Amino acid sequence: MNEQMNQVLRTPSNYLQGINITLDLSNVLELSEDAKILIIVDTYTMKDYRQRIEKSLDTAQMFEFVVFEGLLTMERLEVIVKEHEELDYDMVLGFGGGTIMDVAKAVSTLLQTTVVLVPSIASTDGPCSRLSAIYHEDGGFSHYMVREQSPEYVIVDLYILSLAPVRTFIAGIGDALSTYVEANACYLSMSVNDAGGLDTFSSLMIARSCKEIIFEDAVDAVKSLQEKMITPSFKRMIEANIYLSGIGFESGGLSIAHALHNGLTKLRSERRFMHGEVIAYTTLVQLATENSHEFTQYRDLCLQLGLPTKLADFGLTLDEKVKTIIEQTCFFEGSSMYHVPYEISPEIVFQAMEFVEKRI
C-alpha cells in the first residue's frame, strides 16, 4: 500500500550558521519596523543572553519574553497561548535548549506565526523539524505535535554553541548517531517518515552524510569544544547534529531507536538522562536486532565519547517489569518500532537488549 504514497523531503526555509550571528538578528531576519516578536527562553539564556537579544532585535516594534522551564505539556502550552493570543505576534523566537525549540514550534503553530529557532546547545536535532515532543505531567512521553510548515528560520550561533556544556553536545551526537540507522531501515522497509510520506533518496543521503561526519569528526569536535575552540570539525559536527540529523530523522524517518527511547522514558532511573544519551543506547539495540556488522564500530565510538552503551548505565536491568513496560509502550499500531525491513517482536528486541548488555 505504501508504494502509492508520495516521497516527501522537508527542510527549514532558512538555515544560517555563523560566529556571533545572533548579534545582528534584525538584519538576518530582515525585520520590518512593525514586527512583534514573542521570545521564548530558558532561565540560562535569559540570564546570559537577554541583553544580546534585546540589542539584536532593537528595530522591532515590540518584543516580550516568556521564560520556560521543565517539560512541555499540553496544559502548559495552552497557558502560554491564552496569555499571548490577543497581541497578534508576527513571530515566535525560541532561544534555548531542546525543550525551548519544541515550545517555540508548538506556540507558533497555535498562534499561527513564523518561527525562528536559535539553539543554545546542540543536544538534539529538533530545531530543523516540524515536531514538538509533548509530555505528560508525570514525565512520560505523550505525543508529537506537528507544525504544518518546517521552521522558517534556524539560526546557529557557533560562538554560543562553543560555550555550551560538553555533555549536551555529546548527547546531540548520540541523537545524530541514530539518524542513518533509522533512515536506512525506513528506506528499505518503505515506511512512512515523519515528513508525511516515503523517503527520498536525498534524505537517505543526508542521513548518510550525518553518519560520515560523526565517525570522522565527533572525537575531534568534542576536543575542540573542551578547549572552547571553533574548529572545522566542530563546525561540521554542529551541522551534523542540528541540520543533517534534523532533516535525516524527519524526512528519513524514525525506527526502533526512537520507539524504544519513548518506552524507556516511562521507566524511573536514579539519574536524569538526556534524549541523545538514551538514543545512543537504543541505536545499539536497533543495530543488534539487525545483526549489523557495524555494531562494534558504533559501540566503540559511544564508549570513546562516554555515551551509555548498556541498560545498566541507566541503573536499570532487563527484568520482567521493564519488559512489560517496553511491550506495552513500544508495540502498538503505528509505532515506529515496525519501521524495519525484517520481522520485529518484543522477544527479538529483548534478545537484542540482552546481547548489548553482555558486550564488554
DSSP letters along 15-37, please?
A: EEEETTGGGGHHHHTT--TT-EE
135 is in an annotated binding site: yes
Count CA atoms within 13 Å of residue 262 on its CB side. 22
Considering beta carbons, is residue 181 or 353 the nearer one to Zn ion? 181
300 is in an annotated binding site: no
101 is in an annotated binding site: yes
Select from 105-113, 167-175, 217-225, 320-328 the region that touches Zn ion (CB under 5 A). Answer: 167-175
Considering beta carbons, is residue 139 or 232 the nearer one to Zn ion? 139
Catalytic pick from 42, 217, 258, 313? 258
150 is in an annotated binding site: no
220 is in an annotated binding site: no
Residue with the shortest CB distance to Zn ion:
175
| Separation of alpha carbons 53 and 286, rounded Å | 41
| Separation of alpha carbons 151 and 127, rounded Å | 8
Residue 203 CB, nearest approach to Zn ion (Å): 15
List the grid coordinates of 177. 548517531
Select from 71-79, 142-150, 151-159, 169-177 the region that touches Zn ion (CB under 5 A). Answer: 169-177
Considering beta carbons, is residue 175 or 250 the nearer one to Zn ion? 175
175 is known as an active-site residue: yes
DSSP letters along 47-115, please?
A: HHHHHHHHHHTTTSSEEEEEE--S---HHHHHHHHHHHGGG--SEEEEEESHHHHHHHHHHHHHHT-EE
Residue 157 CB, nearest approach to Zn ion (Å): 22
258 is known as an active-site residue: yes
325 is in an annotated binding site: no
Residue 340 CB, nearest approach to Zn ion (Å): 17
| Separation of alpha carbons 170 and 177, rounded Å | 10
| Separation of alpha carbons 345 and 64, rounded Å | 49
Select from 156-164, 175-183, 186-194, 212-220 the region that touches Zn ion (CB under 5 A). Answer: 175-183
Residue 245 CB, nearest approach to Zn ion (Å): 8
275 is in an annotated binding site: yes
CB distance 17 to 238 below 8 Å: yes
Residue 170 CB, nearest approach to Zn ion (Å): 14
Angle at CA 108, nearest 5°, toward 107 and 114? 160
Catalytic pick from 157, 217, 275, 339? 275
Catalytic pick from 157, 217, 261, 339? 261
Count of residues that interact with Zn ion, criterion CB under 5 A: 1
| Separation of alpha carbons 72 and 109, rounded Å | 14
Residue 85 CB, nearest approach to Zn ion (Å): 30
Considering beta carbons, is residue 39 or 172 the nearer one to Zn ion? 172
Q: Tell me the C-alpha to C-alpha distance, in Å, between residue 313 and each of 223, 249, 283, 321, 357.
A: 23, 25, 15, 18, 10
Catalytic pick from 157, 175, 199, 217? 175
**Residue type for position 152:** E
Using rule CB under 5 A, residue 250 touches Zn ion: no
| Separation of alpha carbons 178 and 254, rounded Å | 9
List the grid coordinates of 334. 503505528
Of the candidate residues 42, 102, 157, 175, the single one contacting Zn ion (CB under 5 A): 175
217 is in an annotated binding site: no
Considering beta carbons, is residue 42 or 175 the nearer one to Zn ion? 175
CB distance 204 to 187 below 8 Å: yes
275 is known as an active-site residue: yes
What is the binding site for Zn ion (CB under 5 A)? Answer: 175
As annotated, the binding site includes 98-102, 125, 129, 131, 135, 175, 258, 275
As annotated, the binding site for glycerol includes 125, 175, 258, 275
Return the active site residues.
175, 258, 261, 275
